[in-house]
Amino acid sequence: MTSGQEGSAFKDGTRFRLFAQAPFLKAFHRPEIVHVSSPAGTVGPGPGDRRMYVVDPIGKAFAYGLAENVRGDPLYLMPPWRGDVFPPAFPDLDGHFDHIGTDDPTFEAAHLFGSVRFTLDVWEKYFGHPITWHFRRDLDRLELVIQRNLHENAFMGYGFLEVGVHETPDGQVEPFTLNFDVVAHEVGHCVIYSIIGVPDPGTASAEYYGFHESSADLAALVTALHFESVIDELLETSHGNLYTHNLVNRIAELSSNSQIRLAANPLSMLDFVQGWSDEHALAQPLTGAMFDIFVDLFHEELVARGLITQSQEDLSDRLEDSPDYFRVIQPMFDEAYAASPLAFREALVASRDELGMLLAETWRRLSPDGLSYSEIGYTLRAVDRLMTGGRWRSIIDVNLNRRAIGFVSAGPKIKPFGPKSHFGLPRVFVPARHGACCARHLRVARQTGARDRLARSRAGVL
């Protein structure tokens, strides 16, 4: 991907116009032109290419996933969609899609495809190879579905990414196809399935699902930092103090003052020793630890480049949990950033790439069966030894220990499986493995009163 001055790696790639963050945010109400890796002319109407394609279906009453037939037997609805579709987005004569205006009905389709390809480009850069689909045995291409009756959800499944809508308190409908964070989060799920695999039935731990949600959030966060406009806005509003309430640590922005989750959060595994009820909450200690590691990597870069002193960095660490943090630390960042804004940008980009590489090399070494946060921490340290000779060991130790990662494990599930739970809904469905799983999941759905919801829309979770 290429965005602004990010480079010329894909100067011959296909152009799209993407909102770097939700378009209802004032700073991002205009889309940014990006180049993705697909060579110009290789993406056809849809958009679609050899790896994925967009459909805007007409009359698709149910989202893909678990449902039942008229006799009450469980079945799993899968792509491809064979019904009618709304007109696709077409490339211009040179093979680009940036000519499509935001008021064009096909802009959503172009934005969805471009967002997915942009996110894949980022993570293929860190992994150093193309990300192969985890469903490739049965399906050649990923179907990107604009599912307008899927409310408050978007989700990745076996061969599909289905994207719904968000309804604001005043009744406005905002399509998730235009919310880059939401789409990138779902692509993050696909990356994890493709890189570490899908667990065998019955072997997925609670912390595996927490890890999945955390990794998807982090995938979206790192990807967003490849937009020049995001870096500009982040630095101009925070002056490099990343613990301010900023767009990067707000995950899946829903409005100008609300979001689904915060990367900078206070939760630790001690909060889940007695039990847990939602994998998104269980993800927060791991996400928080990785965000803290990112901030510390950034601080180390600032010190190494002479932009702040070691004593200032130490003071920031000491005051991190203090109510005096912003009163003392923000003026320090204000002064340092004003003196060298370009150098701050370079340090941020370097730290972003350090985090991306650290995550990619950690993820590729994990197994999905019985995965624990303790294993993730052990692997993170091992990767640091391989990549840097242990340069970041103290940063990793301090931030994992603060969240009690590796010291305690999540307790039992304390609430019944609900309609938004990965345990109650087969997001990890694999046809050859899960012939009997549909029946089990449907029984769970019935027990929790989720049957009607499943029959109506079969929605996953963000």
For the chain, give every domain's residue range.
2-198+430-456, 206-402
At a CB cut-off of 8 Å and minimum separation 6, what does 451 contact? 68, 442, 445
CB distance 44 to 38 below 8 Å: no
Q: pLDDT value at position 36?
A: 97
Give tens-digit pLDDT for 232-264.
989 998 999 988 766 566 555 444 434 456 776
Angle subtended at Cα 333 by Cα 327 and Cα 335, rounded to the nearest 5 degrees: 105
Q: How confident is the model at residue 186 (pLDDT cuts 50, 70, 90)?
A: very high
Q: Tell me the percentage of the chain whose pLDDT exceeds 70.
A: 83
Q: How far apart are CA 405 and CA 306, in angstroms?
A: 32
Nearest to 182 by CA among 112, 257, 102: 112
Q: How far apart are CA 162 and CA 219, in angstroms?
A: 18
Give me the residue label for tokens 């301010």.
244
Architecture of domain 2-198+430-456: Roll (3.10)
Q: What would you report as the CA-atom Rg of the chain, rounded to the nearest whole angstrom?
A: 22
DSSP designation for 154: E
Q: pLDDT value at position 93?
A: 97
Q: pLDDT value at position 340?
A: 97
Q: pLDDT value at position 249?
A: 63
72-81, 174-183, 270-279: segment of lowest average pLDDT: 72-81
Q: What is the pTM of this model?
A: 0.88
Structure tokens at 318: 């000491």
Dihedral of CA atoms 169, 170, 172, 176 in degrees, nearest 10, equals -20
Q: pLDDT value at position 143?
A: 97
Nearest to 217 by CA among 24, 405, 395, 462: 462
Angle subtended at Cα 251 by Cα 249 and Cα 252, rounded to the nearest 5 degrees: 150
CB distance 164 to 145 below 8 Å: no
Residue 369, SS3 per DSSP: coil
Q: pLDDT value at position 95?
A: 97
Q: pLDDT value at position 62?
A: 83
